């Protein structure tokens, strides 16, 4: 992982102790619940499932999955986040929490049938994300699926700034396309992808991609989207 991110990640794990009851900063409890409902709806956890939650954070989604799934492994690169997930899931006997980097998962091949990667892609450049997708491909059984959540859509961001926030044309263009420009100039702005572009990347990592729009209860649904990947043989 990119070592420059380390102070930021540690700060996030410290902050979450003082943040709102749902550990997600400024969003409401209803929006936080909606995120969890949305993920459960797509992943449909069941007793036969062995699910890997990568970048589990404080374990809000991990706990909800664990209530329905057979087994859950939760991974985060920050010790404080692992500790909080352990604590939150302490009453569940089907959860193991492991301190590890998404790019080097400490699991054998084909160990899981579902992977969750929610609201974590923003930390990785395009090439790092590709390495992580290959790791997901390795630890998934044939036909297994990955839910990648909360990708940012440059055009939808522009539309949201321009029409919903009534930002001036210049500001809206700047807000959205400064990101896109960086994408071109620096070879990748973290977390920002056109769906067709992300689809090509997933295909080269061995997945088929289906776009999943976010439901309107979700806090940033106007400019974020999720994707469901299926492992190709």
Interface contacts to ligand SAM, rule CB under 6 A: 1, 9, 54-57, 60-61, 75-78, 81, 101-102, 118-120, 123
Instruction: Decide whether 153 or 224 has the Cβ nearer to ligand SAM.
Output: 224
Instruction: Decide whether 61 or 66 has the Cβ nearer to ligand SAM.
Output: 61
Q: Strand, coil or helix: what is 192?
A: strand
How near is the Cβ of 50 to ligand SAM at its closest, in Å? Answer: 18
Instruction: Decide whether 167 or 201 has the Cβ nearer to ligand SAM.
Output: 201
Indicate the helix (H) or strand (E) that contains 72: strand 71-76
CB atoms within 10 A of CB 16: 19
Instruction: Decide whether 95 or 172 has the Cβ nearer to ligand SAM.
Output: 95
The dihedrals phi and psi of 148, each to the nearest 5 degrees, come to -100, 120
CA 145/CA 209 separation, integer angstroms: 10
CA 213/CA 125 separation, integer angstroms: 23
How near is the Cβ of 24 to ligand SAM at its closest, in Å? Answer: 7
DSSP-derived pairing of the beta strands 50-54 and 112-118? parallel
How near is the Cβ of 16 to ligand SAM at its closest, in Å? Answer: 8
How near is the Cβ of 195 to ligand SAM at its closest, in Å? Answer: 20
How near is the Cβ of 83 to ligand SAM at its closest, in Å? Answer: 11
Say which DSSP state 224 is in. E
Residue nearest to ligand SAM (CB): 57
CA 192/CA 40 separation, integer angstroms: 24
Q: With beta carbons less than 8 A apart as the criterion, state whether 144 and 231 touch.
A: yes
How near is the Cβ of 56 to ligand SAM at its closest, in Å? Answer: 6
Instruction: Decide whether 14 or 203 has the Cβ nearer to ligand SAM.
Output: 14
Distances (CA, A) of 186 to 127, 179, 189, 190, 205: 12, 10, 7, 10, 21
Instruction: Decide whether 82 or 176 has the Cβ nearer to ligand SAM.
Output: 82
């Amino acid at each position: 992982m990119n070592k420059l991110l380390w102070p930021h990640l540690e700060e996030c794990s410290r902050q979450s102790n003082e943040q709102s009851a749902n550990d997600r900063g400024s969003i409401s409890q209803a929006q936080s619940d909606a995120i969890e409902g949305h993920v459960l709806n797509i992943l449909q956890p069941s007793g036969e499932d062995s699910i890997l939650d990568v970048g589990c954070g404080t374990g809000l989604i991990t706990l909800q999955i664990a209530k329905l799934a057979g087994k859950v492994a939760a991974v985060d690169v920050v010790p404080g986040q692992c500790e909080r997930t352990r604590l939150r899931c302490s009453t569940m006997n089907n959860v193991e929490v492991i301190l590890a980097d998404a790019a080097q998962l400490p699991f054998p091949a084909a160990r899981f049938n579902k992977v969750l990667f929610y609201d974590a892609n923003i930390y990785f450049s395009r090439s790092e994300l590709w390495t992580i997708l290959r790791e997901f491909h390795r630890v998934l059984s044939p036909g297994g699926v990955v839910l990648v959540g909360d990708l940012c859509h440059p055009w939808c961001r522009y539309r949201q700034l321009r029409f919903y926030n009534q930002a001036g044309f210049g500001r809206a263009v700047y807000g959205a396309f400064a990101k896109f420009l960086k994408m071109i100039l620096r070879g990748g702005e973290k977390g920002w992808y056109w769906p067709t572009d992300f689809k090509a990347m997933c295909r080269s990592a061995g997945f088929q991609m289906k776009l999943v729009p976010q439901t309107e209860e979700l806090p940033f649904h106007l400019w974020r989207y999720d994707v469901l990947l299926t492992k190709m043989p």
